[in-house]
């Protein structure tokens, strides 16, 4: 009985570790995607600010 419980605990722990790794990888992917989005937004904001600095007669 004890061996069965120990094996069950090992399997459960192994599954939990795999789930943890998958969750961490998913978070890493989301963080990377957010960084890319933030860079794109920053570029667009900078371009918009540069466009608004140009006077209508300057175009």
Q: Mean pLDDT of successive 10-residue segments in the chain (59 residues)?
A: 97 98 99 98 93 67
Q: How far apart are CA 32 and CA 45, in angstroms?
A: 20
Q: How far apart are CA 57 and CA 52, in angstroms?
A: 12
Segments making up each domain of the chain, as ranges: 1-38
Give 59's DSSP letter.
Answer: -
pTM above 0.75, yes or no: no
């Amino acid at each position: 009985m004890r061996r069965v419980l120990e094996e069950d605990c090992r399997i459960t722990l192994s599954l939990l570790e795999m789930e943890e790794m998958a969750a961490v990888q998913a978070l890493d992917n989301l963080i990377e995607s957010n960084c890319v989005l933030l860079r794109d937004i920053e570029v667009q904001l900078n371009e918009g600010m540069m466009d608004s600095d140009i006077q209508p007669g300057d175009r």
